[in-house]
Amino acid sequence: MWLTVQLIAWVDKNPGKDILVMCAGIAVAVAVAVFAAVKSYPVDYDAAGKLLVDGAKMANDTYKGVGWCIGFLTGWILEKRYIDFSTDVSMMTRITRLTTGLLSYYAVSLILIPLVKS
């Protein structure tokens, strides 16, 4: 958290360096994904023969985290450079934004994702 605060303060003082931060973050995320892909995951079973650790599931969870990280960094740059979101708006605008955001989220998570998975 301390490093993040320092990094954001540095980007605020050096506005053109946000792309550098994004690229470095994406590079770290890709390195983590590559590590998860090439790392060997030993198969370990308990006394009853039940699998204790599923390496494929661990790697898949890592890929999800990497995707979230890349999406966050990309969204951060798009918002910072093109949207410039402000919270200095009326209460009605805030409620409209909240409602639109929630409905969009639920539409994607409850409708679109299940359709894509099927």
Q: What residue ranges do the domains of the chain occupy?
A: 2-85, 88-118
Of 9-13, 16-20, 21-25, 84-88, the range with the lowest mean pLDDT is 84-88
What is the predicted pLDDT for the residue at 104? 94
Q: How far apart are CA 27 and CA 104, in angstroms?
A: 30
pLDDT, tens digit, for every residue of 27-37? 999 999 999 88
What is the predicted pLDDT for the residue at 95? 96
Can you give the pTM of this predicted structure?
Answer: 0.71
